[in-house]
Amino acid sequence: MLPTSIGNLSDQLFELYLYANQLHGYIPRSIGNLVGLNRLHLARNQFTGYIPSTIGNLYRLKDVHLDTNQLSGKIPDVVGNLSSLLSLNLSSNKLEGVIPLSLGNCRSLIELYLYDNKLTGKIPTKLLQIPSLSKTLDLSRNNLFGSIPSEAGDLKMLSELYLSDNNLSGNIPSNLGGCVSLSILSIQGNLFQGIIPPSLSSLKALVEIDMSRNNLSGQIPKFLERLQYLNLSYNDFEGEVPTSGVFANVTTFSVLGNSRLCGGFVGLRLPKCKETKKHKTKFLMFVVVGVLSASILLTIICLLYAWQKKKSNNQLSQTSINTRFLKVSYDQLLKGTDGFSKDNLIGRGGFGSVYKGIIEKDGERVVIAVKVLHLQYRGAQRSFMRECEAWQNIRHRNLLKIITSCSSIDYQGNDFKALVYEFMPNGSLHDWLHPTLRLNLLQITNILMDVASALDYLHNYCIPSIVHGDVKPNNILLADDMVARVGDFGLARFIGTSYENSSTEIRGTIGYTAPEYGLGNEMTTSGDVYSFGILLLEAITGKMPTDNIFNEGFSLHKFASMALLDHVIDVNILKQYQDDESFIRKKEKNAQKIEECLASIVKIGVSCTMDDPPQRMDIKTVMQKLQQVLDTLQNI
């Protein structure tokens, strides 16, 4: 439990982080004595009871994170005293009652997360009149009712609005067209009715909409084509489904459960739309044929011939696209993984779980790895879209091979999305590095070369260039022949396209992420080089960047730098290879060459992990130097 004596700490204490421990019991009222606090992070513990009203004494607070606990009761009105508050996260608790009107007094608030609680009542209009709300307002998964107040249109700076899985009703207000910065609108799982307001067409920043599981009707507006993700499933829309933009890729939109729709992408298998202008079109054709001269007729014939040829080519191209990836259903994946059983679970990531399974392909049973997206996690939808976009166009010996994707509905009516890859029997590089190193120096160098080759392809040969964004041992898979394959493009950035990461997105994994990302800088190929350098040093030293010894400014980069005494590798680092018999035999005859190889590899890692991006070695130079090391090792 958090002791009452916490309140005896200095009133000059600036930040208190107790995030992600196993603390339980009540949050002591004495915490209100820490009047100097700017940041309070108690998230991901097991706190119960009420939020103490004494929190209202902490008038200097800018960030409060109490999410993912078991707090109950009402949100205290005193939160309105926190006039300097920038970020408030009370999500994933058991809070009840109404959203306090006093929150409207927090006029500096940038982001507010209240999702996954038991809050009830209507959305307060005062909450929607906070001009500073510019990042996220998330009230999803509560018991809110009533309509969306028209004041929502005043949130001109808001980027993301989540109101899903409540009991909200009425029409979608046309005033939402005033939210000119809105990029994500999520209102699924409510009781909304009426049409999609045309005013939403003015939201040029909008890239993602989820309006599924409502009672919306009318025709699907054509302006939705420009989105990157759209879910309109389980409503009552009618008429023709557009075929351009987002509607041209079955993995980026869904219109399931709308029985009155027609046309659209062939993969939807919807009925054809009735031709209402057939007779009028024929009449006009007769008139045109009657008045056109022979030369014009000849031109038309030529154009028709060219059009027919282009159409045939397009159909051939479409057939190629459709057959390149195997089609699998939710039912096939469910059966192939034995109901996504724990026995078949082979890994977990930030946005999904990976299962081993078996499917039929060309009459043969194929072992696969199925990554099932956790769509309840923020960013999972975008991660799925980004992976589909990446795998659609990239092919390389050192990239994981994707078999197909599946975008469907499970047996409970929930959205289901999964990616199906070839199964890698030797697991991930992490498995071979920890807890005990099971690779020899030549194997490690070959694997590092494979990863560098994949990054060189992504950075320099893909159009557009791709930044992987999450290079780490867990994302390096090993085939039967120990050839490395880079996987997981859920955080990838496509340079110069609409798939670039926003400033609020997750960027990599702690310990492997380039330091400039922490300052809000754009993701770049130089960031991938930094992550690769950390991976390299981890493979050579056997130490993870998050090991306990790395604190208070001491890092894996500094550890490796210190090992390079006068450009000769410290002998202590060689302990990682003492159990490798082939290394021991070679060491006796070629000790100096092997130590030089190790020193060269460590130098590469140190250069790649410089804090200043321009000082880092580029990936092509990395490959050249690794090849020199490989040539030496193979000749020993």
Check residue 385 and give its pLDDT. Answer: 85
Check residue 383 and give its pLDDT. Answer: 83
Cross-strand bridge partners of residue 162: 138, 186
The gap from C-alpha 472 to its chain's centroid, in whole angstroms, comes to 16
470 carries an active-site annotation: yes
The answer on pLDDT for 503 being more than 50 is: no
DSSP assignment letter at 326: -
For residue range 513-541, what is the model confidence (pLDDT) as tens digits?
999 888 878 889 999 999 999 999 999 88
The answer on pLDDT for 138 being more than 60 is: yes
Check residue 308 and give its pLDDT. Answer: 56
Residue spans in the chain of domains classed CATH 3.80.10.10: 1-121, 131-269
Check residue 496 and give its pLDDT. Answer: 67
Give just the sign of the alpha carbon dihedral 98, 103, 104, 108: negative
Q: By C-alpha distance, which of 620, 580, 624 is closest to 600? A: 624
Contact 135, 113 (CB under 8 A): no
Select which of 138, 154, 450, 470 is catalytic. 470
Sequence-distant (6+) residues with CB within 8 A of 595 are 568, 569, 574
Pick the CATH number of 131-269 from 3.40.50.2300, 3.90.230.10, 2.60.40.10, 3.80.10.10: 3.80.10.10
Q: By C-alpha distance, which of 211, 209, 244, 214 is closest to 229? A: 209
Check residue 413 and give its pLDDT. Answer: 82
Greatest pairwise CA separation for the chain in angstroms: 98
Check residue 312 and give its pLDDT. Answer: 42
pLDDT band at 598 (very low <50, low <70, confident <90, very high): confident
Check residue 530 and give its pLDDT. Answer: 95
Cross-strand bridge partners of residue 368: 357, 422
The answer on pLDDT for 288 being more than 50 is: no
The answer on pLDDT for 277 being more than 50 is: no
| Ramachandran class of 625: left when φ > 0, alpha when ψ lies in -120 to 50, beta otherwise | alpha
Q: What is the dihedral of CA 266, 371, 185, 144, to 10 degrees?
A: 120
Sequence-distant (6+) residues with CB within 8 A of 547 are 556
Residue spans in the chain of domains classed CATH 3.30.200.20: 330-418
| Residue range 165-190: mean pLDDT, rounded | 92
Check residue 589 and give its pLDDT. Answer: 62
Q: Which CATH superfamily is domain 330-418 in?
A: Phosphorylase Kinase; domain 1 (3.30.200.20)
The proportion of the chain whose per-residue pLDDT surpasses 70, expressed as a percent, equals 86
Top-confidence residue, 194 or 508: 194
Check residue 280 and give its pLDDT. Answer: 44
| Residue range 444-452: mean pLDDT, rounded | 95
The answer on pLDDT for 309 being more than 90 is: no
Q: By C-alpha distance, which of 390, 405, 399, 264 is closest to 324? A: 405
Look at 70-84, 163-177, 430-444 and tell me which has the smallest mean pLDDT: 430-444
Alpha carbon distance 216, 543 (integer Å): 55
| Residue range 384-397: mean pLDDT, rounded | 81
What's the mean per-residue pLDDT of the chain?
Answer: 84
The CATH architecture annotation of domain 1-121 reads Alpha-Beta Horseshoe (3.80)
The answer on pLDDT for 72 being more than 50 is: yes
Question: Exposure pattern of 89-117 as b/e (b: 16+ CB <10 Å)?
Answer: bbbbbebeeebbebbbbbeebbbbbbbbb
Check residue 430 and give its pLDDT. Answer: 92
Check residue 310 and give its pLDDT. Answer: 45
| Residue range 54-62: mean pLDDT, rounded | 92
Check residue 293 and give its pLDDT. Answer: 57
For residue range 108-135, what is the model confidence (pLDDT) as tens digits?
898 999 999 999 999 999 999 898 898 8
The proportion of the chain whose per-residue pLDDT surpasses 90, expressed as a percent, equals 50
Contact 609, 557 (CB under 8 A): yes
Check residue 285 and give its pLDDT. Answer: 54
Contact 37, 7 (CB under 8 A): no
The answer on pLDDT for 256 being more than 60 is: yes
For residue range 321-371, what is the model confidence (pLDDT) as tens digits?
333 457 788 888 999 999 999 889 988 877 889 999 998 876 778 899 999
The answer on pLDDT for 558 being more than 60 is: yes
Top-confidence residue, 301 or 174: 174
| Residue range 595-620: mean pLDDT, rounded | 92
Give just the sign of the alpha carbon dihedral 523, 525, 530, 535: positive
Check residue 434 and give its pLDDT. Answer: 86
For residue range 78-101, what is the model confidence (pLDDT) as tens digits?
999 998 899 999 999 999 999 999
Highest mean pLDDT among 47-51, 278-282, 329-333, 506-510: 47-51
Alpha carbon distance 624, 618 (integer Å): 10
Q: By C-alpha distance, which of 591, 562, 589 is closest to 574? A: 591
Tell me how long the chain is. 636
Residue 138, H or E segment: strand 136-138
Query: Which residue is associated with the tokens 């008429």?
Result: 239
Query: Does domain 429-634 sit in CATH 1.10.510.10?
Result: yes
3-class secondary-structure state, position 428: strand
Alpha carbon distance 458, 470 (integer Å): 13
By CB neighbour count within 10 A (0-12 exposed, 13-18 middle, 19+ buried), where does 515 fall? middle
| Residue range 469-476: mean pLDDT, rounded | 93
Check residue 137 and give its pLDDT. Answer: 94
- How far lies 304's CA from each of 48, 294, 301, 311, 561, in Å? 73, 15, 5, 10, 69
